[in-house]
């Protein structure tokens, strides 16, 4: 019975790539048992089949090469049990991380679909639930590139860049809204979802009624829409009760087509008695 096999023969026998076997050789977990001194050919023996089966099994469990090498250096039942339990814990953490990513994708898809289907320049009254935010309170000119304060917000709160897509907002103070002065922001913030990880202190936009409108464009083109909201408030005898919430739902982060840009303005209000 044949007892020695070349790397090519072993790869066919175990349906493996030759490069993988050579990698195992370099990593020290499956070295050829014999090398022909004349030809330089290296051979594996049938005695190594069990070891290779173990490697294939552990690799199928996504076990790192370093941990496999540790097992062979300390080969016993207890080591295998510790190895499998540790891998199981790693997999559980990865599953949890993937579930978070999946929820983030669902959130973004829902938001993008909602923005794509927007009715532009239509004023609506919406009851907004309490919303968690991380904020940077600072006067920012509307002409300022918001990327710098966004990075500062990210740094101060140890945020993941993945948090920012479609979730960054700016505010105009109630005082400036009353003056119809729209060229500066009093705050920049990011909405925080349950799946987000951060280190900063949360602020909250309380549950209340907002007068809202969406328009095609970005912050730089908000004047007309703010004036539409403020005119409506005057006609309906509504009182501004706080800073605006201004969120670009679709911008250059999602598309190069500026005609697809969508921004939403929200002004909190109460009815005058």
Give the CATH class of 4-75. mainly alpha
Would you say the CATH fold of 118-271 matches that of 4-75? Answer: no
Separation of alpha carbons 11 and 20, rounded Å: 9
Residue 211's CB: how many other CB atoms inside 10 A? 22
Residue 240's CB: how many other CB atoms inside 10 A? 19
If you average pLDDT over residues 33-41, what whole number do you get?
Answer: 88
Taking only the tens place, the pLDDT of each residue in 126-166 is 999 999 999 999 999 998 888 888 888 888 777 765 555 65
Point out the least confidently predicted range of 44-53, 58-67, 252-261. 252-261
CA distances from 199 to 82, 120, 253, 268 (A): 33, 37, 25, 28
Taking only the tens place, the pLDDT of each residue in 156-167 is 777 765 555 658
Fold entry, domain 118-271: Multidrug-efflux Transporter 1 Regulator Bmrr; Chain A (3.20.80)
Question: Is residue 46's pLDDT more than 60?
Answer: yes
The reported pTM is: 0.74
Average confidence score pLDDT of the chain: 91
Q: If you ran DSSP here, which 8-state letter would residue 42 be given?
A: E
Taking only the tens place, the pLDDT of each residue in 244-271 is 999 999 988 888 999 999 999 999 999 9
Residue partners of 18: CB distance under 8 A and separation at least 6: 7, 8, 11
Between 104 and 69, whose confidence is greater? 69
For the chain, what are the domain ranges?
4-75, 118-271
């Amino acid at each position: 019975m044949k007892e020695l096999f070349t790397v090519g023969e072993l790869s066919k026998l175990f349906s493996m790539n030759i490069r993988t076997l050579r990698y195992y050789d370099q990593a020290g977990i499956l070295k050829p048992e014999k090398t022909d001194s004349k030809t330089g050919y290296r051979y594996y023996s049938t005695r190594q089949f069990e070891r290779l089966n173990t490697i294939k099994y552990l690799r199928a469990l996504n076990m790192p090469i370093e941990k496999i090498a540790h097992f062979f250096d300390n080969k016993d039942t207890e080591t295998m049990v510790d190895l499998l339990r540790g891998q199981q814990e790693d997999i559980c953490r990865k599953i949890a991380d993937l579930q978070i990513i999946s929820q983030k994708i669902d959130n973004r898809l829902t938001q993008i679909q909602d923005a794509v289907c927007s009715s532009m320049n239509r004023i609506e009254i919406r009851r907004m639930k309490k919303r968690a935010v991380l904020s940077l309170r600072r006067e920012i000119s509307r002409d300022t590139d918001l990327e710098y304060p966004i990075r500062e917000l990210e740094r101060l709160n140890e945020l993941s860049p993945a948090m920012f897509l479609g979730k960054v907002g700016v505010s105009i103070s109630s005082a400036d809204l009353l003056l119809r002065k729209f060229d500066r922001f009093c705050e920049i913030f990011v909405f925080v979802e349950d799946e987000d990880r951060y280190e900063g202190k949360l602020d909250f936009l309380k549950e209340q009624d907002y007068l809202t409108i969406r328009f095609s464009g970005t912050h730089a083109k908000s004047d007309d829409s703010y004036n539409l909201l403020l005119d409506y408030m005057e006609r309906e005898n509504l009182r501004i009760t706080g800073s605006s919430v201004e969120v670009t739902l679709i911008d250059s982060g999602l598309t190069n087509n500026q005609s697809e840009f969508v921004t939403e303005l929200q002004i909190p209000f109460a009815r005058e008695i």
